[in-house]
Amino acid sequence: MNTTPAPRIAVVGAGPGGLTFARILQRHGIPVTVHDRDGGPDARDQGGTLDLHRDNGQIALREAGLLEEFHRLSRPEGQEMRQLNPSGDLVFHHVPEEGERTKPEIDRGVLRDLLLGSLRPGTVRWGSAVEAVEGPAGGPRRLRFADGSAVEADLVVGADGAWSRVRRAVSPATPRYTGVSFLEAWFHDVDNRHPEIAELVGRGSAAAADGDRALFAQRNGGDHIRVYVIQRTPVDRPTAAGPAPGHTDAVRARLLESFRDWSPELRRLITDNDGRYVDRPIHALPVPHTWEHDPGVTLLGDAAHLMPPLGVGVNLAMLDACELALAVAGSDSLGAAVRAYESTMLPRSTAMQELLDGGAEELLSPELPDFATGDAR
């Protein structure tokens, strides 16, 4: 009888990457604990809609045994993409074919609920804010939490996003501001309350840019639309950039002046939003971002390779999670599994980082990325 104790695997971050990793491990009979600083699954808004691609995000869901359920919950009509010029003229329109599943949309909250519901009760420890990863490189590692408690783990997986605390255990790198920032605006009950905007955006996304500023609108589930006002903004914002996002009327006035030459139809995306604006400055990790192999700590998703938001982030995070989980399940040692995973993940992420380096600026170009075909450049 095998008396070898099960490895102690701790994931930090209950986003799509961390939860996908945990789900696949559990399917292979491997115990895992996920720690998240949020007080619970509904502690904050999970953000907008995601397109999960057939060649990465959907591969991970297949290994998680959740692909069919994903297709049931997703919105294939969300693959529609419209590009307009600042005058409001339609210059490109992609309408998905019947049955097209190349990259259907799903709301972040819906995807998270799908993954959370697939895990064994108690897998996620809410309110577990990790402050540091301590201990020698050879392990075991010690997770120290904000409340003063601590646990030991044989493998710590950092799935804790852009400002990862786990990253500090293997890399000194920190995200850098790209010079481009989003202001997020929300529209609710759009078919009834905002029919002109609903018609402009369609069932998927609509975008327009003039080289210095851009608008990107996405249909979400539940009859919501999110709009992102994209601008170059100085590093020392908000003082150099004008009023803070919470000062809605002042921000709106400033935006209307900036977009004064755009069509009235597009300016509705600035004037008609429900509630305040939310500031989303765009950061990215240095290119390339790599680290020395550590058998007891590794990273996935934005913790490993934060890039501009050009449609690949969550897909790479879920593919990372899938490959790491399968490596752990198929290896006799955690160190060998981590090395095998990083030997594939790091070259892939480096290539994508190099491809998207400076990509935040391209969001302002009149030649916007063709989101409909997945060509990020």
- End-to-end Cα separation, the chain, in angstroms: 55
Element at 62 (helix H, strand E): helix 57-63
Q: Is 113 annotated as a binding residue?
A: no
- Concatenating the DSSP letter of every residue in 315-327 gives HHHHHHHHHHHHH
Could you tell me which residues are beta bridge partners of residue 208? 84, 215
Amino acid sitting at position 251: V
Torsion of the alpha carbons at 306, 11, 345 and 353, rounded to the nearest 10? 0
CB atoms near residue 81 (< 10 Å)? 21
How many Å apart are CA 322 and CA 336, to the nearest integer? 16
How many Å apart are CA 193 and CA 184, to the nearest integer? 19
Q: Is 302 annotated as a binding residue?
A: yes
Residue 50: φ, ψ to 5°: -125, 145
Which residues participate in the annotated binding site for NADPH?
A: 44
Which residues participate in the annotated binding site for FAD?
A: 51, 108, 302
Which residues participate in the annotated binding site?
A: 44, 51, 108, 302
